[in-house]
Structure 1
Amino acid sequence: MSRAPRSEAVSFRVRAWLALGVLAACAAGLVARAVELQLVDREFLIGQGEARAVREVTIEAHRGAILDRNGRPLAISTPVESIYANPRELAQARDRWPELASKLDINRKQFEKTLEKSAGRSFVWLARHLTPAEAHAVMKLNVPGVYQRSEYRRYYPAGEVLGHVVGVTNQDDQGIEALELAFDSWLAGEDGLKRVIRDNTGRRVDDIENIRAVRPGGDLVLSIDTRIQYLAYRELKRAIEDNRASAGSMVVIDVTTGEVLAMANQPTFNPNQREQRATAVARGWLRNRAVTDMLEPGSSVKPFVIAAALESGRYTRNSIIDTGTGHFEIGGVEVNDEHPLGKLDLAGVLAKSSNVAMAKIARDLEPQQIWNTLTRFGFGKVTASQFPGESAGHLPHYSNWRWAVVSSMSRGYAWAVTPLQLAQGYAVLGAMGVARPVSLLRVDGPVQGRRVISEANARTLVSLLESVVNEGTGSRAAIPGYRVAGKTGTAWKHNGGGGGYQKDRYVAVFGGVAPATNPRLAAVVVIDDPRANRYYGGEVAAPVFSAVVGGALRLMGVAPDAELAGSADPLTGVARMGNR
């Protein structure tokens, strides 16, 4: 009887100690695990937690604005909203897809195809650049896996008037054309980066820290004067329509600084209409013809050959060239004038645009002398404009010249220029022989240049070119109240790869400076393939020069050389010409 109670007591103590030992072991295990978690695995666990809840988020930099020389906006980035989805989450609400597709105005089958194709991803764009109201309507549906993100969209207030100069950005606000591309790194700035905490639905709960500060893009101030640009756009478009031409370009340069005040092309495009971009690309409307397209300039480059003659010392303004019967032939190469012009001084050579006289002058000069003069004017190489895709033109080295080449070059064939290069050449004449770098950015302060020809010879040339407008082929370039110096050009269009020329298709050109007494502006007008029974440069290009440069001089407050006569344009105050 006495052993049973003792045996039960011993058994109880054993069980108690055993339970206590188990509890102690568990407690020791928990303490060891706590030590391991808090000390040994602490960094690993923190990392795992942050990987699930902490994200690095990009802070988009605001793209800088593009402004004209007077501060008018030409390109600005405006806030827009975009909708994206997590396909994995959105797959759980497949029954909501039709409703979502309808609200986004997306074809249902295309919407489903996009999501199914992105099923394994965690991000896909559903709609970009919506208005706040449109984005709010989508988010109001409260579809799982659908999120909203703020972005920027580029807007171009001047539209097609400056499309070729300013360019365009893609949907990610990156420059892809013209100056938007050339100065993309400056305009774009640098995105910032910060660390945030998100909940299990992906929504941001709190900001933890800034990793990298955002650097906004810088503004870009162009040399363009929107007022003059509009004049060039309007008059060039009118000339293209009136003369049924296929294309055209105009460049206006301030000769005192080298700044491009206007650069217009036709056909053009509106950078705000992204949906029409494919058509514009296919038709070649995106390229800036004034910078990228080469042309054989015809008689418009005769002044630069005359410059070589004056610089050689063999010719003066009073030199006489006998054109005889208007026919000249050496070594089987023939040069002809439309009709006999007899004996001409240099003013008469340019005013009458004598091919025979130009050939005889070129024959008297060393090829190297001509080539050196032309290259100093900037022909055969790109300008300092920094415009993407600029052409250097084509000026063959003098070592390859034969008489056939020399005679052709003297009248503007066998070499090619861009409208910008030609305008730069006339700007050198207007600056009395000094070349200043062409700039599409506003220039503040005086600009140093390099001398191309002597001041005396430059003044002589400007005076000679006045005779072209006063007495010769460029009469329609005259500007009431201002003295104008310039030269017409009419060239056959080249056959391209086939060689030779299309003698029923032309390029009409006029280049000049004004006021001739103290030049401020140089401009070139190119009309490609006019087909309205008018094709001479003096007929179709010169009137555009008159209207645009006359308006620009008045807008800039350049004092006229004489009182205006006739009715005035209400926009510019420049008297209208009776015969345009």
Structure 2
Amino acid sequence: MTLRPRPVALTQSSRRRVAAPSARRRMTVVVAVLVLAALGLLARAFDLQVVRKQFYQEQGEARFLREMPIAVSRGTIFDRNGEPLAVSTPVVSIWANPPEVLENEERIPELARALGVDAAELKERLAQRSDREFVYLRRQMPPEAAQAVLDLGIPGVNGQREYKRYYPSGEVTAHVLGFTNIDDHGQEGLELAFDDWLAGKPGAKRVIRDRMGHVVEDVELVREPKPGKSLTLSIDRRIQFLAYNELKSALEQFEAESGSMVILDAKSGEVLAMVNLPTYNPNAVRGSSAAQRRNRAMTDVLEPGSTVKPILMTAALASGRFTPTSPLIDTGGGHWFFQGHDIHDTHNWGVLTPTGVITKSSNVGAAHIAMQLDTALMYDTYRAFGFGNSTNSGFPGEASGYLKVGRDWRPLEKAIMGYGYGLNVTPLQLANAYATLADGGVMHSPTFVKDAINEPRAIVTPEIAAQVVKMMETVTAPGGTATAAQVANYIVAGKTGTAHKASAGGYAKNNYTAAFAGMVPATDPRLVGVVIIDDPKKRSYYGGMVSGPVFAKVMEGALRLLDVPPDNIGRWYAGGPLQGQGGLVGAKPKDDVSIDDEPIEDPNP
């Protein structure tokens, strides 16, 4: 018989003693779990607030804190009298966050209407840039129009303040000033030359923006904005308008291709006016061509023709072998066959004094003088007057012209250089050479900035400069080649030039450059002007008849505006070509009328 243990009956107190340790164990586990959870939270908090604080702060700021540029106004450009020539006006550019705008796709047609663009094109543009947070929708809108777009309240559409350049004088000053691009950086002209001075330095600030992109708080200034500095030019807006109107009228009258006029202050070298045609509107550059935007007075070169003869005469007087009245030069019946080349004049001027060579613009006489000069002296004189060198005006793209080294001149080249072929100059270079004679043989570098420091350089003696100026007075006197360049009550000294234009394989037979360069009042020159008219096709092509009147009309107005005292009261002209300096000695034409120097048929040696 197997014995089994008898079950023991547990009393209530016994059951409580058994359950108590079990409850404590569960409580211990719960507390342990809570402690571990608390430690985990503390560790996480420590990680977030201490270990990885910088990372999460940057992430948060990246979503709400932005660095925004502070636009600055470009410096104003003034003329010498304080008239604004280029100003910056505030505008607003509309930009968008493509993903936000696309979330509200149904409002894109409304946005497109406000911007004045096609809705489908706008949607496609946003879709193509959906991976970006910034895209311009329209640049440089007027503030009122931009605000109308922003007032629509379309999520992701924002505005940014900018500045746009405006040129009150439009096409009249276009070639001097140039223009800026859409980001307000200078692209051509003085806007480019002085870009660092005018542009200033944009600032920056940190701001907090809400999810709609609106600025709710300025946090800090990162970089102080520095507005651009103003610039006062030597240009006189009034004289600029005079030159523009008269040049335009001449181009229409003679049906010419293009033209340029440069006016310098003879005492300082300051550029008072510089005009080119054709021109363009700098307020709407997009519709212009490169040819219209070219500043021809600075970048285009031409053979100066007879306008170089006063420079040749300067070398002749400096040599000691010539004076204004001697030696006499026989022009050989108006033709000189030199090394198989026919150098000729418009008429048989017979025997001329050196002054007469200037008065009648004798190519034969000029060639004879050139061949009697030392080549080094002639080359050095041309070079000293700036031919073949930049004028150092600081204008972008200025051409240096061309002057062959003197030791390489062949005899025929030397002869034709005496009357302005075989070398190239810009209108500004020619004006600066004449300004040197006007200021007693002292050269100034042309400048576009009023009261700029300009170190003068003596080129020739004051005596020689005065003699050459006196010789040039006869050109506008009765019997000279430019009576049309006379200015009432003022004595004008100048020189005409009519040159065949170079073409492929030589020179064009029926295409000319008509030029006049001069100074006024001749007894104490204040203004120097050069007028170049390219390829006149109607009525005349001579410099005295085409360009001379432009000079006269512009200078008449400029002298009045500048209140320059007359030096020829009561007379149309003080003295004729036969007085003082001497002119014709031998044969002369039947009628002592104003004529101009006819270009040679083939100036190519």
What interval of TM-score do these two structures reach, taking the shorter chain for normalisation?
over 0.9
Q: Which moved more, 1:395-404 or 1:49-58?
A: 49-58
Residue 231 of structure 1 corresponds to which residue in structure 2? 242
**In the alignment, which of 247, 253, 256 is matched to residue 264 of structure 2?**
253
Give the Cα separation in 2 of the matches to 1:123 and 1:129.
Answer: 16
**TM-score (norm. length: structure 2):** 0.90
Post-superposition CA distance 1:22-71 (Å, at most 9, x none): 11222222223223333322233322322322222211221101110111
1:493: Cα distance to partner? 1.1
Give the Cα separation in 2 of the matches to 1:188 and 1:444.
Answer: 20
Post-superposition CA distance 1:239-268 (Å, at most 9, x none): 111111110000000011100000011111
Q: Which moved more, 1:249-258 or 1:548-557?
A: 548-557
Change (3 A) 1:564 1:90: farther
Post-superposition CA distance 1:519-542 (Å, at most 9, x none): 011100001111112110000100
1:563: Cα distance to partner? 3.6
* Structure ID, larger Rg: 2
Post-superposition CA distance 1:269-321 (Å, at most 9, x none): 111124423xx33xx10010110001111111111111111111111111111
For the 8 Å contact 1:323–1:357, the answer to whether it is kept is: yes
Residue 573 of structure 1 corresponds to which residue in structure 2? none
1:346: Cα distance to partner? 1.5
Residue 599 of structure 2 corresponds to which residue in structure 1? none
Residue 464 of structure 1 corresponds to which residue in structure 2? 471
Residue 36 of structure 1 corresponds to which residue in structure 2? 47
Post-superposition CA distance 1:349-406 (Å, at most 9, x none): 0111111111110001122111110111111111121111111111111122101211
1:142: Cα distance to partner? 1.6
Give the Cα separation in 1 of the matches to 2:165 and 2:111.
Answer: 27
For the 8 Å contact 1:162–1:264, the answer to whether it is kept is: yes
Give the Cα separation in 2 of the matches to 1:243 and 1:564.
Answer: 33
2:569 pairs with 1:558: no
Give the Cα separation in 2 of the matches to 1:140 and 1:194.
Answer: 24
Counterpart secondary structure, 2:225: coil
**In the alignment, which of 350, 357, 379 is matched to residue 349 of structure 1?**
357
Matches within 5 A, 1:158-557: 158-277=169-288, 280-281=289-290, 284-319=291-326, 320-443=328-451, 447-470=454-477, 471-495=479-503, 498-557=504-563
Give the Cα separation in 1 of the matches to 2:186 and 2:570.
Answer: 45
Change (3 A) 1:116 1:30: closer
For the 8 Å contact 1:480–1:564, the answer to whether it is kept is: no
1:205: Cα distance to partner? 2.1
Q: Which moved more, 1:211-220 or 1:474-483?
A: 211-220
For the 8 Å contact 2:334–2:345, the answer to whether it is kept is: yes
**In the alignment, which of 143, 150, 153 is matched to residue 132 of structure 1?**
143
Residue type of the alignment partner of 2:104: A
Give the Cα separation in 2 of the matches to 1:544 and 1:147.
Answer: 54
Residue type of the alignment partner of 1:403: P
Give the Cα separation in 1 of the matches to 2:125 and 2:375.
Answer: 65
For the 8 Å contact 1:359–1:410, the answer to whether it is kept is: yes
Give the Cα separation in 2 of the matches to 1:318 and 1:97.
Answer: 85
For the 8 Å contact 2:72–2:163, the answer to whether it is kept is: no
Give the Cα separation in 2 of the matches to 1:129 and 1:42.
Answer: 41
Counterpart secondary structure, 2:396: coil
Give the Cα separation in 2 of the matches to 1:200 and 1:100.
Answer: 19
Q: Which moved more, 1:22-31 or 1:289-298?
A: 22-31
Residue type of the alignment partner of 1:521: L
Counterpart secondary structure, 1:453: coil
Residue 578 of structure 2 corresponds to which residue in structure 1? none
1:190: Cα distance to partner? 1.0
Q: How many residues align?
A: 559
Counterpart secondary structure, 2:474: helix
2:34 pairs with 1:23: yes
Counterpart secondary structure, 2:292: coil
Q: Which moved more, 1:65-74 or 1:48-57?
A: 48-57
Q: Which moved more, 1:130-139 or 1:409-418?
A: 130-139
Q: Which moved more, 1:479-488 or 1:78-87?
A: 78-87
1:329: Cα distance to partner? 2.2
Post-superposition CA distance 1:306-348 (Å, at most 9, x none): 1111111111111111112121123223211122111111111
Residue type of the alignment partner of 2:404: P
Post-superposition CA distance 1:209-240 (Å, at most 9, x none): 22221111111111000011111011101111
Give the Cα separation in 2 of the matches to 1:245 and 1:90.
Answer: 55
Residue type of the alignment partner of 1:366: D
Give the Cα separation in 1 of the matches to 2:42 and 2:96.
Answer: 44
For the 8 Å contact 1:167–1:181, the answer to whether it is kept is: yes
Tell me the C-alpha RMSD between the 2 structures.
1.5
Residue type of the alignment partner of 1:451: A
For the 8 Å contact 2:146–2:159, the answer to whether it is kept is: yes
Change (3 A) 1:343 1:419: same
What is the identity percentage for the equivalent residue pairs of Structure 1 and Structure 2?
A: 48
**TM-score (norm. length: structure 1):** 0.94
Residue type of the alignment partner of 1:452: I
Unpaired stretches in structure 1, ≥5 consecutive residues: 567-580
Counterpart secondary structure, 1:239: helix
Residue type of the alignment partner of 1:190: K
Residue 71 of structure 2 corresponds to which residue in structure 1? 60
For the 8 Å contact 2:263–2:271, the answer to whether it is kept is: yes
Residue 7 of structure 2 corresponds to which residue in structure 1? none
Unpaired stretches in structure 2, ≥5 consecutive residues: 1-10, 573-605
Give the Cα separation in 2 of the matches to 1:152 and 1:158.
Answer: 19
For the 8 Å contact 1:297–1:489, the answer to whether it is kept is: yes
For the 8 Å contact 1:324–1:340, the answer to whether it is kept is: yes
For the 8 Å contact 1:64–1:77, the answer to whether it is kept is: yes
Residue 154 of structure 2 corresponds to which residue in structure 1? 143
Residue type of the alignment partner of 1:203: H
Give the Cα separation in 1 of the matches to 2:48 and 2:543.
Answer: 87
1:559: Cα distance to partner? 0.4
Residue type of the alignment partner of 1:365: L
Residue type of the alignment partner of 1:525: V
Counterpart secondary structure, 1:325: helix
